[in-house]
Structure 1
Amino acid sequence: MSKTAPPEQNEDVAALPFERALAELEQIVDQLEKGSVALEESIAIYARGQALKAHCENLLRNAEQRIEKITLGPDGRPSGTEPLDVE
């Protein structure tokens, strides 16, 4: 039961690449399922897990939109590498 958070837990979630955010989220789920952390720490890592989950979902949604935009060009053909218009 660690009292100090590893350095990666102090990083801004929005700056993490998908693979790293997902790996950290999996680690948090594993810790919570095993009950290997104290209650207060469980609450803190659960909150971080929620932020990581939302970040991963957002990255996946953006990737999906990019793929759909490429595959659903106006003439029915791939539209190439046109940038995604993110609002």
Structure 2
Amino acid sequence: MTFAEEESRSHLSMPKQSANKENIEILKKDINKLSYEECIAELESILLNVQDENISLDKIQINYIKGHLLLKHCEELLQFCEQEINEINPEFLNID
């Protein structure tokens, strides 16, 4: 089951009028558990959902919020990876 399917069936479903802060915080915690690859898969799923001509405005709003949080998490994961790469001491790479 994908993250999107789990989320839609769980208590995290956001109200139709607006996404309240509590649900967003729970969503953030769940997203922070995802790997980079899982986040990309979720972003691709959101993209497909948004391209549906019959999507409601409420679903567009929910997808926007999820997409924003997923993208932010991806950026944080990439920054962490970049930092780790920059900290590699070239002397450790000498296998001579």
Give the TM interval when normalised to the shorter protein: 0.5 to 0.7
TM-score, length-scaled by structure 2 = 0.62
**Alignment partner of 1:16 is 2:15:** no
Match of 2:45 in 1: 27
Please list, as runs of the form range in 1=range in 2, the aligned pairs for 1:1-87 lying within 5 A after superposition.
Answer: 6-8=5-7, 12-70=30-88, 73=89, 77-79=90-92
Which amino acid letter does the alignment assign opposite residue 47 of structure 1? Answer: I
Runs of 5+ unmatched residues, structure 1: 81-87
* Percent pairwise identity: 32
Rounded Cα–Cα distance in structure 2 between residues aligned with 1:8 and 1:21? 14
How does the TM-score come out when normalised to structure 1? Answer: 0.68
Secondary structure of 1:6's match? helix
User: Partner letter of residue 33 of structure 1?
Assistant: Q
Shift of residue 37, structure 1, vs aligned partner: 2.0
Shift of 1:26: 1.4
Unaligned runs of 5+ in 2: 13-26
Alpha-carbon distance between aligned partners in 2 of 1:46 and 1:22, rounded to the nearest angstrom? 14
Q: Deviations over 1:4-26 (max 9, x none)?
A: x6205656111111111111011
The structure carrying a bigger helix percent of its residues is 2
Question: Closer, same or farther in 2 for the Cα pair 1:35/1:64, shift >3 Å?
Answer: farther
| Partner deviation per Cα, 1:7-50 (whole Å, 9 max, x = no partner) | 05656111111111111011112221343421101101110000
Indicate the SS of the match to 2:75: helix
- The 3-state SS of whatever aligns with 2:55 is coil
